């Protein structure tokens, strides 16, 4: 959130000066449309008044807001008129299960690798990449994550899937403090069994 505020302040200065709003993306510069800037400011005003939410920004700059406060989310939808917004709610029959188990993800197909490990910004031992490559039958990690691990030792924002609790324990030992959290993928058809 701090980086968001800093960037918003930077864009505000440029906007007041009549300069183009420029965002650096890798090696290129992208001009931010005025309407996007104004809606970002409006969103920030709304976010300041609420504290029961979490935010995720993916590399393509898509903002996802998670909250159990539906009125808060509807307020955002009402205020942001130009931004494309999708509202997703859990199926009513799964709400009680999700409230009891915050570290699960419901899936439509039975997963081969039912544990999802999310990584934080702490440096990880690069040797972990060798283990991942040697154990493709026990785990799956995307190429971008694997390259980041090999080159820099960082996995922040990346994730991987593992086969079982035994492999999960090995990964948490190898990755150490870089593990943010673990979520279990639960096949919907197995819930009532």
Are 112 and 60 within one domain? no
Could you list the residue range(s) of the whole structural domain that residue 143 is in?
95-190
Q: State the total domains in the chain.
A: 2
Q: Cβ(178)–Cβ(148) under 8 Å?
A: no
Residue 139's H or E segment, with its range, is: strand 139-141
Q: Are residues 134 and 58 both part of a single domain?
A: no
pLDDT computed for residue 167 by the predictor:
97
Residue 125 lies in a domain: yes
Q: What is the mean pLDDT of residues 6-19?
A: 88
User: Which pTM value belongs to this model?
Assistant: 0.67
Please check whether residue 24 lies inside any domain of the structure. Answer: yes
In-domain check, residue 89: no
How many helices (DSSP H) and strands (DSSP E) are in the chain?
Answer: 7, 9
Task: Say if residue 124 is in the same domain as residue 183.
Answer: yes
- In the structure, what pLDDT confidence band is assigned to residue 59 with cuts at 50, 70 and 90? low
Residue 23 has pLDDT above 70, yes or no: yes
């Amino acid at each position: 959130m701090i980086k968001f505020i800093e960037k918003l302040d930077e864009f505000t200065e440029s906007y007041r000066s009549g300069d183009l709003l420029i965002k650096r993306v890798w090696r290129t510069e992208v001009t931010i449309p005025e309407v996007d800037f104004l809606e970002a400011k409006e969103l920030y005003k709304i976010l300041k008044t609420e504290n029961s939410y979490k935010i995720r920004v993916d590399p393509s700059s898509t903002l996802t807001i998670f909250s159990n406060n539906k009125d808060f989310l509807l307020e955002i939808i009402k205020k942001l008129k130009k931004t494309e917004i999708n509202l997703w709610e859990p199926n009513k029959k799964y709400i009680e299960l999700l409230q009891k188990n915050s570290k699960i993800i419901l899936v439509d197909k039975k997963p081969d690798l039912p544990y999802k490990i999310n990584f934080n910004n702490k440096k990880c031992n690069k040797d972990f990449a060798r283990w991942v490559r040697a154990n493709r039958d026990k785990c799956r990690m995307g190429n971008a994550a694997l390259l980041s691990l090999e080159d820099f030792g960082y996995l922040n924002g990346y994730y991987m899937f593992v086969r079982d609790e035994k492999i999960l324990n090995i990964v948490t030992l190898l990755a150490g403090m870089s593990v943010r959290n673990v979520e279990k993928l639960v096949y919907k058809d197995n819930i009532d069994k």
